[in-house]
A = this chain, B = another copy of it.
Amino acid sequence: MRSIDVIFRWQDDLPDVSHTAVVVIDTLRATTTIATILANGAQAVLPVGGVEKAFALKEQDPRLVLGGERNNRPLPGFDAGNSPYDYPRAVVEGRRVVLTTTNGTQAVERTAHAPWVALGSLVNARAVAQAQQSAHDLGLIVCAGTEGQVSLEDVLAAGAIVLHWPQEACTDRALIARALFDKWRDHLYEGLKTAQHARAIIAQGLDADVEYAARLDLLPHAVVRNKEGWFVNQ
């Protein structure tokens, strides 16, 4: 029987995911940016937790693009930040990108033992939902959250993915995410702006990134993990 469930924060109790297709969501901004990097022609993207790990990978492969942020600011010595606008085709086409993020990476590591893992966001929600349902009958969406708190933007994107699962497959948590999406589906940018983390990002002058993250189904590809643990378009 098909089933889709949603975890509102990666820190929460995780069910057994050994037969589950997992989607990790960090809408502002990691998973939105990774989907964009791949759409702009990058070969593969690896989210990593630590800056040291990123530099070590770059030493092994000088052609790598290093990207990332701490507190929504670009890192010294890096090629780009965590904004989707930092990765135009001219920068990333044909290259591999390592992106340091905090919450998104931790959520991905938490579900590393799942047989199938994808990264979800509003910009590729439909594609991710279709790929997830093709991969397994059991689906789980793990929201990254922000600094240990439930983030509205991640639950909103989860709802945009749940939307494509049959209603009878939905747990109560999935239905709650779906209701949040239903409320804002015609005004997603407005919806994102009610989220605390979105307001913090906007206060740092990154309004354009929030507006971009609200573009539902802008991109036609799901972002899935390959055998080497890198994420690629499917």
Contacts and interface: CB of A to CB of B under 8 A. Distances in A.
Contacts of A180: 176, 179-180
B172 A151 contact: yes
Q: Quick one: copies of this chain in the complex?
A: 2
Contacts of A176: 8, 150, 152, 155, 176, 180
Contact of A152 (B167, B175, B197): B175
Contacts of A148: 13
Contacts of A175: 152, 194-195
Interface residues of A, number: 25
Contacts of A197: 172
SS class, residues of chain A in contact with chain B:
helix
Contacts of A149: 171-173
A150 B179 contact: no
Nearest to A182: B183
A149 B174 CA distance: 12
Which 8 residue pairs spanning A and B have beta carbons closest together? A152-B172, A179-B183, A179-B180, A150-B173, A176-B180, A182-B183, A179-B179, A150-B172
